[in-house]
Amino acid sequence: MIPSGKPFLPDLKIYEEYLSGIWARNHLTNHGPLVAELEQRLKAFFGVKHFFYVNNGTLALQIAIKALDLKGEIITTPFSYVATTSSIVWSDLTPVFVDIDPLDFTLDAERIESAISPVTSAILATHIYGIPCATNRIQEIAFRHNLKVIYDAAHAFGVEIGGKGVLNFGDISTISFHATKLFHTVEGGGIATNNDELAHRINYMRNFGHQGYEDFYGLGINGKNSEFHAAMGLCLFPHISTLLNRRKIQSEHYDKQLTLASSHLQKPRLPSGIRYNYAYYPLIFETEETMLRVRDALENEAIYPRRYFYPALTRLPYMKTQPMSVAESVSGKVLCLPLYHDLTLNQIGDICDIIASQLIR
């Protein structure tokens, strides 16, 4: 079987060494030394001023919204994982969708201003498949209309824009370290900001609002993560370059093998001046019918791609209908091909042969 993705796991003996330390200290959670070490290493890796390790990427978004004290409406993308929208609704705010760019599938910055209303407080955009949004243009619009900016960078581990880590953009950026991600801590997420005041709020909000044991700064929630999860992240750190390089080689092999079928396929365009992480390999087929035929042919050979993202978030049962033609079209025709650390080039060749057989008739 070839799944759509597979978590990378380090040498078990190295993880067990971390476990021995946890047993010896008997410090399992509440900002233990491994969590502190992982935070510092991630802060340096991302090149941000403040970084907070939390228990998942969804809660990271929810804390970001609360830390910015957002009200009313938030402009966001209809093409992302459900957590981007559900975090807004969970916070009793209203998502206002803006359609996506037809070339790179990120939030179309040129459509944002027409969606701004007197009660708009922020823009929440996703770096889809690790492809950065139009950050300069979005910041110009936000500054002109006095809006806050949050970036959902769940897919964007290791991505850089003009030599700067992608988490440096916006008022707050969030990231996921779920087991499905390129870099994971089994479960986990993070919040980055370069603003000292926001960092103070985020720090107490992820720990029930505590100011010491017997006092509180304000409202908070339990966003802490454990020593066991941090240990996994520390085990993966030495492998980051290898994992990134391997994804690049695999993605380039997909490109090469799919050359004959390329006229029937679309891939998202990568902006110039970025360092990409090759976190996913999405293909857009000419029609949903074609995509489903290809998917079925792959599954018949025990190869399991993923419709990611499907459906468009406009179809969520708790959302009012907001037709988004580009996002709805892309979500109906997209298929993410298998991509993970030990997927072989021969397996990629077999996948591409099956795809070509369904397209070139």
Alpha-carbon distance 287 to 284, whole Å? Answer: 8
Output the CA–CA distances (angstroms, integers) from residue 128 to 87, 132, 194, 249, 325, in the order listed. Answer: 17, 7, 22, 20, 17
Q: What is the pLDDT of residue 264?
A: 87
Q: What is the pLDDT of residue 212?
A: 86
- CATH (one of 2.40.50.100, 3.30.1360.200, 3.40.640.10, 3.30.450.90) for 12-238: 3.40.640.10
pLDDT in tens, 236-265: 999 999 999 999 999 999 999 998 778 889
Q: What is the pLDDT of residue 361?
A: 61
Q: Is the pLDDT of residue 360 over 80?
A: no
CB 119 within 8 A of CB 72: yes
Q: What is the pLDDT of residue 245?
A: 98
Compute the C-alpha angle 67/277/203, nearest 5°.
Answer: 20
Range of weakest confidence among 41-50, 80-89, 198-207, 251-260:
251-260
337-360: average pLDDT:
95
pLDDT in tens, 139-163: 999 999 999 999 999 999 999 999 9
Alpha-carbon distance 32 to 13, whole Å? Answer: 21
Classify residue 113 as left (phi > 0), alpha (psi -120 to 50) or beta.
alpha
Question: Using omega within 30 degrees of 0 as the cis cutoff, is the peptide bond preceding 95 cis?
Answer: no
102 pLDDT tier (thresholds 50, 70, 90): very high
Q: Name the percent of the chain lying above pLDDT 70.
A: 100
Average predicted confidence (pLDDT) for the chain: 96
pLDDT in tens, 8-62: 999 999 999 999 999 999 999 999 999 999 999 999 999 999 999 999 999 999 9
CB neighbourhood size of 290 (10 A):
16
Q: Give CA 60 to chain center in angstroms.
A: 11
Q: pTM for the full model? A: 0.96
Output the CA–CA distances (angstroms, integers) from residue 186 to 51, 56, 63, 189, in the order listed. Answer: 19, 10, 20, 10
What is the fold, at CATH topology level, of the domain defined by 239-359? Aspartate Aminotransferase, domain 1 (3.90.1150)
pLDDT in tens, 269-324: 999 999 999 999 999 999 999 999 999 999 999 999 999 999 999 999 999 888 99
State the virtual CA torsion across 235, 239, 244, 248 in degrees, nearest 10: -130
Q: Is the pLDDT of residue 201 over 90?
A: yes
- 80 DSSP 8-state letter: S
| Residue 238 in tokens | 């030495």
Q: What is the pLDDT of residue 321?
A: 82
Paired strand residues for 176: 189
Give the domain ranges of the chain. Answer: 12-238, 239-359
